[in-house]
């Protein structure tokens, strides 16, 4: 690694325009990865009813689930390997490759002649979605100044729900303009090629993460980037901080799967898995992926259901703004419990209304009101707290293992729900399916109340000590022995 004293002014001469303006450009371009994430997960909502027709892909409930959820299985794999690849070859290069993969797989999905080919390309598209879900936030966190980090990383979350809203809007416009055309779904999918091209071309002019350069010992290049996105007097000072941080982290032995034999380590990892599963078993993505079908089953015609679904997208965007504001003011536990109580109540009311108002003109509007309410609680309270708590509960030495396992479990749970939702609808019917998710919601509330500690205002070290002490208290009445050296491992 280069030393700071070896870096001369000649090494570091670069563009010195307006750092704030350049940062805004970087954030806008890179978060097109989040926009694609949102669009590609939301577009299937409106495309499935047309795709399922006998003269198109002729899908049944199981193959509908496979087409929708194959992307999620790919995303689980992309999330696991995307971060590792970004550590090896750089965040910027991975995002460029992801843009190409987005473009290639979108074209493949658009031209798919049958369900088998569609599932294959949706799996590839999922690799891009999963890779973007970990690489883009990492890139933004590393290139943004500390005082703007939360804002810039949150911008990616905002772009995800914006992408979903755009998918719902374009679905409705295309369906209502083209009427009964059999290939409507192909036009819906093809729209995603435009943001993929913007991401691909735009990332060519975006610099690499300065922190990644520093981890590879390329301090001159790191400083060159910092001088483009910071004021002159801050660039070198921040490089010193990055170098010091890297040196400290390199001294820490990271946890491995073998360390799950230690009770407090295992407890934190399992708690992280629980938080990830709690967010998904509410059934949020059954509404995001099958919202049009839900509104159709409630009584709307297809074109009207697509228009009604726009309300779900609008409330998601607005709720994310509210959630970002609440994060700094409300405790994690009460916010998470509020979100779960709201979503669980909405699920129960959807099931109830489908029994009480069955066959009436009231039902479709009642169901739409409840899906909007559900997403308000989900996106305004449950989802933002989930990702924040996952970043807070893992000490630095556990973060790689913990986040890798929990994000993988989150995507797998998402996949299973996406796969099974249309099968549940077909097998048990509309009301029973939502009562099943209501029961899942009750289980999630009990899990949070019993096991989840408050993390707001606690340092990572304080949380680590909390879990260590919790295991001491649980074991002491039984064993009456001191904590062993094995339990105190300095991982």
pLDDT in tens, 32-51: 999 998 999 899 999 999 99
Q: CA torsion sign, 137 to 138 to 143 to 144?
A: positive
Judged against a pLDDT cut of 70, whether residue 487 lies above it is answered with no
Q: What is the pLDDT of residue 234?
A: 85
Residue located via tokens 């010193």? 240
Coil, helix or strand at residue 206: coil
Give the model's confidence band at 178: pLDDT under 50 very low, under 70 low, under 90 confident, else very high.
confident
What span, in angstroms and rounded, lies between the C-alpha atoms of 304 and 456? 43
Cβ proximity of 96 and 197 under 8 Å:
no
What span, in angstroms and rounded, lies between the C-alpha atoms of 302 and 360? 17
Cβ proximity of 46 and 100 under 8 Å:
no
CATH topology of domain 259-491: Growth Hormone; Chain: A; (1.20.1250)
Q: Mean of the per-residue pLDDT values for the chain?
A: 85
> CB-hemisphere CA count at 13 Å for 437?
34
Cβ proximity of 363 and 354 under 8 Å:
yes
Residues 366-422 pLDDT 10s? 999 999 999 999 988 888 888 778 777 777 677 667 877 888 888 889 899 999 999
Which 8-state DSSP code applies to residue 11? G
**Dihedral (Cα; 412, 413, 418, 423), 10-degree rounding:** 110
**What's the Rg (C-alpha) of the chain?**
24
Coil, helix or strand at residue 209: coil
Judged against a pLDDT cut of 90, whether residue 123 lies above it is answered with yes
Q: What is the pLDDT of residue 473?
A: 61
Residues 279-323 pLDDT 10s? 889 888 888 889 999 999 999 998 899 999 999 999 999 998 888
- Comparing CA positions, the residue from 339, 351, 341, 348 lying closest to residue 294 is 351
What span, in angstroms and rounded, lies between the C-alpha atoms of 387 and 398? 16
Q: What is the pLDDT of residue 10?
A: 45
What span, in angstroms and rounded, lies between the C-alpha atoms of 453 and 381? 17
What span, in angstroms and rounded, lies between the C-alpha atoms of 165 and 208? 30
Judged against a pLDDT cut of 80, whether residue 364 lies above it is answered with yes
What span, in angstroms and rounded, lies between the C-alpha atoms of 477 and 72? 45
Cα dist. 398→244, 303, 321, 465, 484 in Å? 20, 49, 30, 13, 20
Q: What is the pLDDT of residue 349?
A: 96
Residues 255-272 pLDDT 10s? 677 777 777 778 888 888
Q: What are residue 164's phi and psi, to 5 degrees?
A: -65, -40
pTM exceeding the 0.85 threshold for the entire prediction: no
Q: What are residue 490's phi and psi, to 5 degrees?
A: -95, 70
């Amino acid at each position: 690694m280069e030393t700071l004293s070896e870096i001369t002014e000649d090494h570091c001469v670069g563009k010195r325009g307006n750092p704030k303006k350049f940062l805004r450009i970087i954030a806008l371009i890179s978060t097109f990865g989040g926009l694609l994430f949102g669009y590609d997960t939301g577009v299937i909502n409106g495309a499935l009813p047309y795709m399922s027709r006998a003269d198109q892909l002729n899908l049944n409930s199981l193959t509908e689930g496979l087409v929708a959820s194959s992307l999620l299985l790919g995303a689980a794999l992309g999330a696991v390997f995307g971060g590792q690849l970004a550590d090896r070859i750089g965040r910027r290069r991975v995002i460029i490759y992801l843009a190409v993969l987005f473009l290639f797989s979108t074209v493949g999905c658009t031209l798919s002649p049958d369900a088998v080919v569609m599932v294959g390309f949706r799996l590839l598209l999922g690799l891009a979605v999963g890779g973007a879900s970990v690489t883009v936030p990492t890139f933004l966190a590393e290139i943004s100044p500390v005082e703007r980090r939360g804002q810039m990383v949150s911008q990616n979350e905002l772009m995800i729900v914006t992408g979903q809203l755009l998918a719902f809007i374009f679905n409705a416009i295309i369906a209502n303009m083209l009427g009964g055309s059999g290939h409507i779904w192909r036009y819906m999918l093809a729209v995603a090629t435009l943001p993929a091209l913007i991401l691909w071309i735009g990332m060519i002019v975006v610099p690499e993460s300065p922190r990644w350069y520093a981890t590879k010992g390329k301090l001159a290049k790191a400083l060159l980037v910092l001088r483009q996105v910071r004021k002159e007097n801050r660039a070198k000072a921040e490089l010193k901080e990055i170098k010091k941080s890297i040196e400290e982290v390199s001294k820490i032995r990271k946890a491995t799967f073998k360390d799950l034999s230690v009770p407090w380590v295992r407890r934190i990892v399992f708690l992280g898995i629980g938080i990830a599963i709690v967010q998904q078993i509410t059934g949020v993505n059954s509404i995001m992926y099958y919202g049009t079908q839900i509104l159709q089953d409630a009584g709307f015609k297809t074109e009207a259901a697509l228009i009604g679904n726009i309300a779900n997208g609008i409330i998601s965007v607005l709720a994310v703004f509210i959630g970002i504001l609440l994060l700094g003011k409300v405790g994690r536990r009460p916010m998470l419990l509020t979100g779960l109580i709201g979503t669980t109540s909405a699920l129960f009311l959807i099931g109830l209304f489908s029994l009480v108002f069955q066959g009436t003109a009231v039902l479709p509007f009642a169901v739409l009101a409840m899906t909007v309410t559900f997403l308000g609680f989900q996106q305004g309270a449950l989802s933002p707290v989930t990702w924040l708590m996952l970043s807070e509960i893992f000490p630095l030495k556990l973060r790689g293992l913990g986040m890798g396992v929990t994000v993988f479990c989150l995507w797998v749970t998402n996949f299973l729900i996406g796969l099974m939702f249309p099968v549940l609808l077909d097998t048990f019917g509309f009301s029973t399916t939502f009562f099943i998710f209501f029961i899942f919601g009750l289980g999630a509330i009990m899990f949070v109340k019993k096991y989840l500690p408050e993390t707001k205002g606690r340092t990572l070290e304080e949380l680590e000590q909390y879990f260590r002490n919790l295991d001491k208290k649980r074991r002491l009445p039984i064993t009456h022995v001191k904590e062993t050296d094995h339990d105190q491992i300095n991982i």
